[in-house]
Structures are given as C-alpha cells and as structure tokens.
Amino acid sequence: MALDKATLDILARQEIEVPSWAYGNSGTRFKVFSTPGTPRTVQEKISDAARVHKHTGLAPIVALHYPWDKVDDFGELRSYAEDLGVSLGTINSNTFQDDVYKFGSLTHSDPKVRRQAIDHHLECIEVMNATGSRDLKIWLADGSNYPGQANIRARQDWLHESLSEIYAQLGADQRLVLEYKFFEPAFYHTDVPDWGTSYVQVQALGEKAMVCLDTGHHAPGTNIEFIVAQLLRLGKLGSFDFNSRFYADDDLIVGAADPFQLFRIMYEVVANGGMDEDTPVAFMLDQCHNIENKILGQIRSVLNVQEMSARALLVDRDALDAAQRDGDVLTANAIFMDAFYTDVRADLAEWRESRGLPTDPTKAYLESGYQEKIEADRVGGQQAGWGA
C-alpha cells in the first residue's frame, strides 16, 4: 500500500463541494443538449448531488446559485438536503443576467445600479442565514469592451465601496470570497481580472474576505500553483472553483485536461497547510457537463480531486527539502515526479471499502437503478439549465 494511515486520515477529512448547476443542462452558445433525467427543481439537483456523496463519501456539501436556485423557504430546503445526507454550502450571487447590469454591477457608474447589486448580495446573506452557509461567493461579469469606455480607476473605488457594504452585513461565521477571471464576458478590461486585484480588494475588507481561485480563469500557461502558494502564504485562499480547460473557461471535468497541473496545485495546497484540520480552503467544483452524464461526471471529478490530493500527500517533503537546499535539481524533480507517477487507485478503492463505500463508485451508480428512475420519473416540467 502506497498510502499510510496518516495519509488516509488526512484524505478522510477532505470535503468537496459540488455545484448545483452541474446537474442542470448546459452547453455553449451554439447548442444546449437536453438529457433525460435532468433535474427540474433545486430539490432534484440536490438529490442528484446526494448520490455523488453516497457513492464516493467525498462530496457532502452542495453549493447553490442565487436566484437560479431560489425557493420560498430556504430553511425547508436545508432540512431537505440534510435528510439526504448533504448540507448546503456556498451561495453564488448573480449580477450577470439582468439587463440593468449591461455596463456593470458593483462597479457600475450609476449609484442606483450599484445599490441594486449590493441589495442582491444582502439578499444572498439572508439566504445564507437560512441555509447555514458559510460562504458568499462573488463573481462579477463587470468590465468593458472598448478602450475609453469605462473609468477603470473609479470602478475599483466603487467596487471597494460596494464590497464594504456587503462585508459589513456578514455574520461572525460567514465569509465573502471574491472570484477573479481575466476575461469574458468583457473583452477589453475586467474589474476583477486576477488574483492580485481580488487580493487587494479582499485585504481592504478584513479577515472574513478571501480570494476564490477558479482554475479555468487564467491565461494559458499561467503557473496556477504559484498563485496557490502565494495566497496560502498570505492567508487569503478561501476557495477553489475546480474545473479544467484546454482553451478558455472550458469548465470541463477537473483533472481531465491536465492531471499533472491538478497534482502540482494540490502539492502546494498540502505543503502550505491547505489540507490541515483547520483549513480555510473550500474545495469547490465549478463545472458543466455538456455532453456527458452529469452525475457520473461529478463522481469522476471528485475522485480526480481525491486521487491527486493523495498523490500530492505522497511527496517525500523532507527528502525534497534536502534536495532543494543542496541545489540537487534532478533529485528534487525525481522526488516530485515519483509521487505524481504513483498509482493510488487500488489504495483508494480499498480505503472506500473499509468505510462501507463502493470500491467502484461509477459501477455502483450504474447498478443502483437511480439513473433509470430519474429518467422515468422526471418527465414534463422545465429541465434546469445553466441559468435557471
């Protein structure tokens, strides 16, 4: 066995948060394919998410998007989720789909629009109070398309003012995580394009404000693990939005495009305390399953995160440290690569078995009859999509 008890104990406390929107239909601007069995309600999304947890033991938290997942009674929704063995997690705000936000939301030059966007976030905090959620995640589509279109500097000041108002309403155990993205939907400038801007803004707010790092939100070639190390060093890495990409913000299954990158990221997480018992880091997925089965796609995703976390935990850090100090480049690299190349799948299957979980979660799901049941039951109504 490559994984010793101490490593398995660390893995046992890893919790991955799955996004409600991963279970709805999604696609590109060219086509959204609908699939039989797709949830029509937030309850059905949560039910699907609970299956991912049931078969993997890794995903006990479901993140919601507001107002996509709006219900009359969030307290009731919380009980519904808890009855299925999962809890409600991050509330993702949405200031990118209303006409009023065409030129921005929290950074808009018009104070009335900023007011509306701030109020939306205050409503999200109300939702968090009812769901028991810790984190409010803010991702802004704000930016401009043409040089000269917007006052870039003033928008940073408005952003600070807006965020301060939201931050002031957080409860003692609540946090705000500010997500950055370098482009899209704005193509010239984006108001929170990079980790530095997010860091500057959250640092100005206080301890309960952190950075959210979405792995798909960087220019190709960016050394994301460096950002991870730096943010952990600064005590400001609040959460991940995991996914993978070949080209832009592809939102594909995490670890699918570049497992080695996921390993490198998880190594910096491990080495910098991000897997410690009191970790501030929420390990969230932010993915869409456009053409594959969504529940199986989520199962694959959480297993990929666990697998690369396990491999990262295998790095012999003492030996690596010695080689680094000696300037022994090749030995250092070999130690790192040894861990990456270690196949931990059989160990993790055994670990699952020891916890009463299926050795093969995919097979267990396929044999459970759940897919057939949702395909037969979920007829009529409006299938959930990315954005509803």
Closest residue to ligand PSV, judged by C-beta, is: 139
CA distance 118 to 162: 6
Footprint of ligand PSV on residues 80-139 (CB under 6 A)?
Answer: 92, 139
CA distance 158 to 378: 45
**Least distance from C-beta 385 to ligand PSV, angstroms?**
12
Number of residues in contact with ligand PSV, rule: CB under 6 A? 8
Binds ligand PSV (CB under 6 A): choice among 69, 135, 142, 179 = 179
Residue where the block lists tokens 């479901």? 62
- Does residue 242 bind ligand PSV (CB under 6 A)? no
Is residue 208 within 8 A of residue 236, CB to CB? The reply is no
Report the candidate in 95, 88, 31, 43 with the shortest Cα–Cα distance to residue 64: 88
Binds Mn ion (CB under 5 A): choice among 48, 142, 286, 307 = 286
Nearer to ligand PSV, 225 or 241 (CB): 241
Nearer to ligand PSV, 143 or 361 (CB): 143
Residue where the block lists tokens 């299938």? 383
Footprint of Mn ion on residues 122-161 (CB under 5 A)?
Answer: none
- Does residue 44 bind Mn ion (CB under 5 A)? no
Footprint of ligand PSV on residues 280-309 (CB under 6 A)?
Answer: 286
Nearer to ligand PSV, 186 or 315 (CB): 186
Cα angle value 146/152/153 (rounded, 5°)? 165
Share in percent of the chain as helix, strand, coil (round to 5): 45, 15, 40
- Does residue 214 bind ligand PSV (CB under 6 A)? yes
What sign does the CA torsion over 212, 383, 100, 150 have?
positive
Nearer to Mn ion, 214 or 268 (CB): 214
Residue where the block lists tokens 């697998």? 307
Contact residues for ligand PSV, defined by CB under 6 A: 92, 139, 179, 181, 214, 241, 249, 286
